Amino acid sequence: MSHPIMFDDKDPILAKVRKIALALPETIEKISHGRPTFSAPKMFAIYGGSQKNPDGPMIRYNHALLMKVDDSEREALQQDPRFFYPAYLGPYGWLGLDFDAAKVDWSEVAELIDASFRLQAPARLIKQLDS
């Protein structure tokens, strides 16, 4: 059974995330579990996500970026109310950034996507990015 599509392809926030992510070497976009994902070849970013809610159903974030974060950055980012611990991927070092929580700083988003790419991509792609 396939997952329902959980994004609007005309979403302007998705368009900006797409532009940043697809500029990285050998990045491809595909739909996984109903959401756009960006991989090179390992997944490094997802548009949209959810968080477990101990009091009821999952909390859904339609305008969010899920990305892998370095262990040294995680604690500081989790202190920021824009960030959340995503369902399923949180235990693997991922965090979510809720775009609806505050004005979006696109240079920060680009840095977060770049950092996630560097954690997931093979060394040859990181070398290509740096050259």
What pLDDT digit, counting tens, does each position of 56-70 carry? 899 999 999 999 999
Tell me, yes or no, whether 4 lies in a domain.
no
* Structural domain that includes position 42: 12-123
Tell me, yes or no, whether 90 lies in a domain.
yes
**How confident is the model at residue 46, as a pLDDT?**
98
On whether the pTM is more than 0.85, the answer is yes
Find out whether 93 and 68 touch, Cβ atoms under 8 Å.
yes
Tell me, yes or no, whether 3 lies in a domain.
no
Tell me, yes or no, whether 115 lies in a domain.
yes
Q: Give tens-digit pLDDT for 10-40.
A: 999 999 999 999 999 999 999 999 999 999 9
**How confident is the model at residue 3, as a pLDDT?**
86
Kindly tell me the burial class for residue 16, based on how many C-beta atoms sit within 10 Å of its own C-beta (0-12, 13-18, 19 or more): middle
Residue 1's pLDDT band (cuts 50, 70, 90): low
Q: Give tens-digit pLDDT for 73-84.
A: 999 999 999 999
The domain that holds 58 is classified in CATH as: 3.90.1150.30
pLDDT average, residue stretch 85-100: 97
Tell me, yes or no, whether 113 lies in a domain.
yes
Tell me, yes or no, whether 42 lies in a domain.
yes
Structural domain tally of the chain?
1
**How confident is the model at residue 109, as a pLDDT?**
98
